[in-house]
Structure 1
Amino acid sequence: MTQAITRHDRVLGCLIGGAVGDALGYQVEFDAWRFIEAEWGPSGVTEMRVNRVSDDTQMTLFTVEGLLLAGPGGEVEAVREAYLRWLRTQREPMPPAGAEGLAAQPWLYARRAPGNACISGLRDGARPGVNPDSKGCGTVMRSAPFGLRHSPAEAYALAEQCSALTHGHPTAGASAGAFAMIVAHLMNGETPQRAVSETMLHLRRSLDRSETADALQEAYRLAGNVPPGPNTCAPLGEGWVAEEALAIAVYCLLGTDDVRSGLVAAVSHGGDSDSTGAILGNLYGAAYGHAALPREWASQVEGRAVIAALADLLGAAS
């Protein structure tokens, strides 16, 4: 008899899985596929040679901290304040005296190619309306935590609102919201196929969400025809913009339940490999739990102890 996956195991799996995918992809971020293939071989990025995470995991953890500190109805403002704390880690070399929480963690002060819109949006006050033309994937890669403690509809709404703190384009909000909604469905024990289908139905209710819905539709089609592998996600784009990054991760999620091979496929392409890997890692962890993650990657990823402690707090709060 298969043991049921506990909610805590899904939370832990989601957060650790995101860090694992991030670290795998960060090794080759900005590299074209031909260079990846030359360095790593035709099988793609199959090793975690370096365990460092990027701004994707950093911002995800600050999202968690914001939600943990939020009072009822105060989630958006609490997450905004958390992101401003993250911004300070990108400007200072080490924690200042008296720093608390994540701001007291020296390893989070590493500057790992943070997104321009994330930096400029926060610098300009992190208020809705900033960067109105930006739909970079920096909104998606940080939004899994909304789905870990809220209903699918609530997760969508919160992720969409918090997306607007840095990226004003409607597609950025729709893609962040869709990602959080899929995570919430997976947390409820729904299959990946149903989680994605329910989210696509939600998106189709508004023309403002059409770019995201179309991208997910294409991911669904590709998953049914081309098994995920090195660079097979190329028809979906490179992942620099929100809907492409989400589509690449969803394609791998729907295309295989082999977590290792799916993660390899999600990062072995020329594009925003750390973000597509992080998003897929979040999805796999929420779907199949922490135990499904490759042990040698999950055990050594940077910041594991801090991430696990946050998962415990989030699980208790939920």
Structure 2
Amino acid sequence: MTREAEETWRSRVRGCLLGGAIGDALGGPVEFQDARTILAEHPDGVRSFVSGGPGWPEGTITDDTQMTLFTVEGLIRASVRTDRGLGFTVGVVQHAYDRWLDTQLLSGPSGDRDGWLQAEQWLYVRRAPGNTCLSALTEARKGEQKIPQFGAEAVNDSKGCGGVMRVAPFGLLPQPATTEWVFDSAATAAGYTHGHPTGKLASGALAAIVHELCAGATLDAALDTTTALLTQHPGHEESSTTLAFARHLAATAQPGPVTVERLGGGWVAEEALAIAVYAALAYPAPEQFLDALALAVTHSGDSDSTGAICGNLLGALHGETALPAELVFTVEGRPVILQLADDFALEFTRATRLHGDYGPHTAWTTRYPGW
């Protein structure tokens, strides 16, 4: 990777993670409102942060961003693990989700976990976490054991959006990761909580789109490549059909909540992805970032998830400089999000300077133990 290419990629990493957080925070307070109620308060769509009530101040993220951050941390730790000759194992991300589960069950850090993200007190709050994620991760724990079995797939038939809303970081992985590998790995990670094929395949599709965008593809080209991959998998029909419909609506229909809701409510994986893709296609230019986010969250469905995924897509497409500055400035957790983004970039471009030949017991491996 040339220096110029690396700088562009780093901007896309930051843009994807911060963009997702902004979309999440825009949509969170209106998630359980219908479009008519939302438009009565926000005639032009939700374009600024609002309070979600007591304990939910303006700019607050939800479980979507929480779990996305733990995905990033899990990927870094999976990479560190390769120093021990164990290979890059996606199952390490499941351990990260188990640590996220602690933030939903405990009032604060217990002190019996390693790594730094687990110690961030502000993450220990419930913001409408998905019941499927909670139940599947709880089931994965064996008795009082804190770490789930590597690679244990959820035993359910859920295709809720709790898998797709958290896997965009897989798409940020640079070469030698291929789009095919990214697709399959993100689908696997979604399967730790969501067992239905659509829940997994829609998740793989999001990661694949992000990966193509980070490589410089246009959104249309990224969707073409992803659709070709998607249709190779049994059970792809729900995801591929809904994505195709989103592209059709973006080309033919007037942007607005009525059109968004033709794609569904976003409560299930393929609908959440399709709504986000539709909004990004309707307003694809860098200066239209906020227009796309407002479209993605102003509807009667799962506004935080559709907003988060749209922000992931446009952040990966345009980079961090396209993000609305007034929202970047106030979104909850920005220092931690940027720290993780920069650490991710360091790990996947400068790993040998951080660990490996420089010794197994470094400050970096204390920060990111390899399991």
Q: Same fold (TM over 0.5)?
A: yes
Aligned residue in 2 for 1:43: 44
**Pair 296,265 (structure 1): closer, same or farther in 2 beyond 3 Å:** same
- Alignment counterpart, residue 166 of structure 2, candidates 142, 146, 150: 142
Larger CA Rg, structure 1 vs 2: 2
Look up the match of 2:283.
Answer: 256
State the partner residue of 1:315.
Answer: 345
CA distance in 2, matches of 1:61, 1:231: 32
- Give the AA of the match of 2:91: E
From 96, 104, 125, the counterpart of 1:110: 125
Which residues of 2 match residues 163-312 of structure 1 at below 5 A?
163-257=190-284, 258-312=288-342
C-alpha distance in 2 between matches for 1:151 and 1:25:
32
The answer on whether the counterparts of 1:228 and 1:262 sit within 8 Å (CA) in structure 2 is no
Code of the aligned partner of 1:88: D
Which deviates the most, 186-195 or 230-239? 230-239
CA distance in 2, matches of 1:101, 1:231: 44
**2:71 alignment counterpart:** 63
Structure-1-length-normalised TM-score = 0.95
**Runs of 4 or more above 6 Å deviation:** none
Structure 1 residue aligned with 2:108:
94
Given that residues 136 and 172 in structure 1 are in contact (C-alpha distance below 8 angstroms), is that contact kept between their aligned partners in structure 2? yes
- Compared CA separation, residues 131 and 38, structure 1 to 2 (3 A): farther
Distance 2:130 2:106 in 1: 17
Distance 2:14 2:195 in 1: 30
TM-score w.r.t. length of structure 2? 0.82
Moved more, 89-98 or 140-149: 89-98
2:174 aligned with 1:154, yes or no?
A: no
Q: What is the distance in 2 between the residues matched to 1:8 and 1:227?
A: 34
In the other structure, the counterpart of 1:19 is 21
Aligned AA for 1:61?
L
2:16 aligned counterpart, secondary structure: helix
Structure 1 unaligned segments of length 5 or more: list them: none
- Give % identity: 49
Residue from 88, 97, 110 that aligns with 1:83: 97
CA contact (8 A) 2:249 2:259 kept: no
Rounded to whole Å, the distance in 1 between the matches of 2:336 and 2:112 is 18
Alignment length, in residue pairs? 315
- 1:48 corresponds to which letter in structure 2? F
Render the CA deviation track for 1:133-162: whole Å, top value 9, x for unaligned. 100000000000000013211110111111
What secondary structure, in the 3-state scheme, does the structure 2 residue paired with 1:6 have? helix
How much does 1:38 deviate? Answer: 2.1
How much has 1:216 moved relative to structure 2?
Answer: 0.4
Deviation at 1:231, TM superposition (A): 4.4
> For 1:227 and 1:158, how far apart are their aligned partners in 2?
36
Cα distance, 1:227 vs. partner? Answer: 4.2
Deviates more, 1:235-244 or 1:119-128: 119-128
Contact 1:156–1:181 (Cα < 8 Å) also in 2 = yes
| CA distance in structure 2 between the aligned counterparts of 1:134 and 1:184, rounded to whole angstroms | 25
What CA deviation, in whole Å up to 9, does each residue of 1:164-215 have, x standing for no partner? Answer: 1111000011000000000000000100000011111111223311110011
1:55 Cα deviation from its structure 2 partner: 0.3
Q: Output the amino acid matched with 1:60.
A: T
Instruction: Verify the 8 A CA contact 2:12 2:316 in the aligned structure 1.
Output: yes
> Over aligned residues, Cα RMSD in angstroms?
1.5
Q: Does 1:32 align with 2:34?
A: yes
CA apart distance, 1:128: 4.0
Structure 2 unaligned residues grouped into runs of 5+: 51-57, 141-147, 349-371
SS at 2:90 equivalent: helix
